Chain A
Amino acid sequence: GAVVSQHPSWVICKSGTSVKIECRSLDFQATTMFWYRQFPKQSLMLMATSNEGSKATYEQGVEKDKFLINHASLTLSTLTVTSAHPEDSSFYICSAWRDSNQPQHFGDGTRLSIL
């Protein structure tokens, strides 16, 4: 079964709205989670590394004030797309790692459509 859960699976909202996406690790603690964005027919692009209890680390070119990440507990990281615009429409995917002997596991993604 799934070890990483994402919610919601899809969301449609108006331009200017802020949208929050949750990523939960199931039955294990994840001190580190990752957030990716994927455009149609393209590969995954890493946006940021979410660290429990500290600030997220953003990849070059990703606006930290636009994509707010909160990793308040060992099982939950949230990505908030602030004042979303149509160009923010994409597929957002998170991943988490169970322990050093396990590969990263990915959530099933969130399809975000901004009208």
Chain B
Amino acid sequence: LAKTTQPISMDSYEGQEVNITCSHNNIATNDYITWYQQFPSQGPRFIIQGYKTKVTNEVASLFIPADRKSSTLSLPRVSLSDTAVYYCLVALKAAGNKLTFGGGTRVLVKP
């Protein structure tokens, strides 16, 4: 399973855009990149998943360069409720594949 590296923590302010970059130098050809959000005492919540280029949904965008050795999660106009830990994972998209969680990035949104 590919190892991921992401910043331990980031601070931001309400209304700003938050970009979290994750490195995954050993990503395999068939691996997908998935981001989860976790609040204290809750299970992780799926945010977005992608394979290459750019993926956008109603809550975030995911930018993946051509070499796929990194990815950037972009959260537009964050609010206080976006304060959480964000995990970047790479794994086969196929069902039943194990997910290995790294340390995650603690994002603190300030008023």
Contact = CB atoms under 8 A, between A and B. Distances in A.
Contacts of A6: 43
A106 B46 CA distance: 8
A93 B39 CA distance: 13
B98 A106 contact: no
A46 B99 contact: yes
Interface in B58-111: 87, 93-96, 98-104
B42 interface: yes
A106 B43 contact: yes
B103 A108 contact: no
Chain B binding site: helix, strand, loop or mixed by DSSP? loop
Contacts of B45: 106
Chain A binding site: helix, strand, loop or mixed by DSSP? strand
Interface residues of A, number: 26
Interface in B37-56: 41-46, 49
Contact of A111 (B36, B41, B49): B41
Choose among B43, B45, B101 the residue with the greatest number of A CB atoms under 10 Å from its CB.
B43
